[in-house]
Amino acid sequence: MLAQRTLKSITRAVGVGVHGGQRVELTLRPAPPDTGVIFRRTDLPKPVDIHARAHAVTDTRLATTLSPTGDPGGPKVKTVEHLLSACSGLGLDNLIVDITAEEVPILDGSAASFVFLLQSAGIQLQAAPKRFLRVVKPIEVREGEGVSLKWARLDPFEGYKLSFEIEFDHPAVNQTGQRVEFDMGSGLYKQQIARARTFGFTKDVEMMRSRGLALGGSMDNAIVMDDYKVLNSGGFRYDDEIVKHKILDAIGDLYLAGQPLLAAYSAFKSGHALNNQLVRAVLDDPSACELVSFDDVSQAPTGLADLAPAW
């Protein structure tokens, strides 16, 4: 049987919320089979559980924000996508995330720190079949027209692969890749995707700060660009780091399906909002998907049964 996975032990991290700038503590805990990922706001008078599900998304501006039952007035957890991307990349099904503020810490702006934390805690196989959401018909969402067109789609595919294209007219990006493809079955998430950092522009920072955003942002946790170049002294971590971060975000947003997907994702200039619409469109259409598990591990799609190394 291809089994569900949780953590072997508890692990902790302390960081800062990129938008609120507040100190936040995370405690990542093992969880029973079929829990999924739950954020638990332990700073509130009574702890509140927020399930990482597509219908719990209440805001997609700048980052993906969740509230219990999708009530925008409810307690929140913001910027969940990088941690969820790491969970998806490591094939981790069940996890409880105690959090002491309304924003997941940004750490280094990528998923690499979360991958490190989760691997340090170790991965535990559980006595329950891992359930995948197999997409059985094409589903597409679109926004805008002409030069402002954006789209994202899922097609049937017995595995999990993604392709993403941006049109990012900036001197530092023009000469590098604006399109990337990644196959989760390659086992190379940690090496090829996880280290891609979030990015921003100096010209936007002042405006964002005046609105109480990006208060915790710095060159320690983001690629910062002016009109011409990358300002971080080390430059890009990957030549195509910008579009790789878009794939990293999409992997996190798609994990809100509540199960790992068996599908091919492709997107053009998509973002958190369209990614969320896409997942909801699949979940809301019973003829678009089915839950499957693999009694015989050898029948599982290549690479998806392999366990990421942990220590």
Active site (catalytic) residues: 272
**In one letter, which amino acid is 141?**
V
Closest approach of Zn ion to the CB of residue 4, in Å: 26
Q: Give me the 5-44 binding string for Zn ion, x by CB under 5 A, dash otherwise.
A: ----------------------------------------
Asked if residue 251 lies in contact with residue 227, where contact means CB atoms within 8 angstroms, the answer is no
Q: Which is nearer to Zn ion, 82 or 130 (CB)?
A: 82
Contact 86, 115 (CB under 8 A): yes
Coil, strand or helix at 294: coil
Residue whose CB is less far from Zn ion, 30 or 89: 89
Q: Within 10 A of 163 (CB to CB), how many other CB atoms are there?
A: 17
Distance separating alpha carbons of residues 291 and 257, to the nearest angstrom:
11
> Which tokens in the block code for residue 173?
């990006």
Nearer to Zn ion, 248 or 288 (CB): 248
Q: Three-state SS for 278?
A: helix
93 scored as a contact of Zn ion (CB under 5 A): no
CB-CB neighbours of 168 under 10 Å: 15
| Residue 270 is a binding residue for Zn ion (CB under 5 A) | no
Minimum separation from the CB atom of position 26 to Zn ion (A): 17
Of 21 and 122, nearer to Zn ion (C-beta) is 21
| C-alpha count within 13 angstroms, C-beta hemisphere, residue 92 | 33
Decide if 98 contacts 88 (C-beta within 8 A): no
* 3 vs 224, beta carbon nearer Zn ion: 224
198 near Zn ion, judged by CB under 5 A: yes
Residue span binding Zn ion (CB under 5 A) among the ranges 113-121, 130-138, 143-151, 242-250: 242-250
Q: Find how far residue 116's CA is from the centre of its chain.
A: 15
Q: Does 102 bind Zn ion (CB under 5 A)?
A: no
> Is-contact 66 86, C-beta < 8 A?
no
Judged by beta carbon, residue 91 or residue 109, the one nearer Zn ion is 109
Stretch of 10-18, 51-59, 142-150, 248-256 lying at the interface with Zn ion (CB under 5 A): 248-256
Distance of closest approach, residue 247 Cβ to Zn ion, in angstroms: 10
Q: How far apart are CA 128 and CA 196, in angstroms?
A: 33
Under the binding rule (CB under 5 A), the answer on residue 192 touching Zn ion is no
Residue 218: C-alpha distances to residues 19, 70, 296, 308 (Å) = 11, 30, 47, 31
* Cβ at position 100, least distance to Zn ion in Å: 21
CB of 109 to Zn ion, least distance (A): 8
CB-based burial, 296-311: b 16+ in 10 Å, e otherwise = eeeebbebbbeebeee
Question: Is 253 a binder of Zn ion (CB under 5 A)?
Answer: no
Residue 192's SS3 state is helix
Q: Which of 103, 241, 249, 253 binds Zn ion (CB under 5 A)?
A: 249
- Closest contact distance (angstroms) between CB of 81 and Zn ion is 5
Using alpha carbons only, how large is the chain's radius of gyration in Å?
18
Binding site for Zn ion (CB under 5 A): 198, 249
